[in-house]
Chain A
């Protein structure tokens, strides 16, 4: 996201972009880490269920650990919420809300497409784990495009 918003940022916006980038990085790292290799992040985020399967963890523990994946998502929502509350520019607030809506729309569309492909080809794909990444990226790109349209 920071790649698309480098210039013309207020300190508040810069701080928010950095926090969201950190969240995005956490989800990306958690999603794409190769299971089987010892890594604390792997133990702490989405792919944990795979690690749990390896060590034969109980179902309850696996579910509890899987719930950890909620943390970055809630964190991102809190960051955006705090930003919207603090942003003094009402027009930019409106653009951010529209960008988030586009992010949700792209994510849902991606889920629908992947869902059809999974059923058609009977091949599983961990789309749910990529939802947060896709939404953050789509929101960032949408914001940039929306802002550009009002240049």
Chain B
């Protein structure tokens, strides 16, 4: 998914990573300690997570931030 912010574009593969683990958005939200809507917003590119949340995502998926988010 991609999000356009001015000329800056961020994409992520959260949906794919989540699907690989058969996690629902609610499952991931629970692990992150956020609402399901938050996961949905990040996943669909409608909201860019802060650095702490991005680190948390990276830790949960056992990946580097760059593996999850890219330009």
Contacts and interface: CB of A to CB of B under 8 A. Distances in A.
Nearest to B32: A89
Contacts of B47: 91, 94
Interface string A14-32: 0000000000000000000
A98 to B, nearest CB: 11
A146 to B, nearest CB: 9
Contacts of A150: 37, 40-41, 46
Given A94-B47, A150-B46, A88 B33 contact: yes
A90 B53 contact: yes
Nearest to B52: A90
Contacts, number: 31
A64 B37 CA distance: 46
B42 A91 contact: yes
Nearest to A95: B37
Interface residues of A, number: 10
Interface string A107-151: 000000000000000000000000000000000000000010011
B34 interface: yes
Given A94-B47, A150-B46, A88 B34 contact: yes
A90 B41 CA distance: 11
B38 to A, nearest CB: 4
Kindly name the residue among A89, A91, A147 whose own CB sees the greatest number of chain B CB atoms within 10 A: A91
A90 B37 CA distance: 11
Contacts of B41: 91, 150
Nearest to A150: B37
A92 B35 contact: yes
Interface of A: 8, 88-92, 94, 147, 150-151
Interface of B: 33-35, 37-38, 40-42, 46-47, 49-50, 53
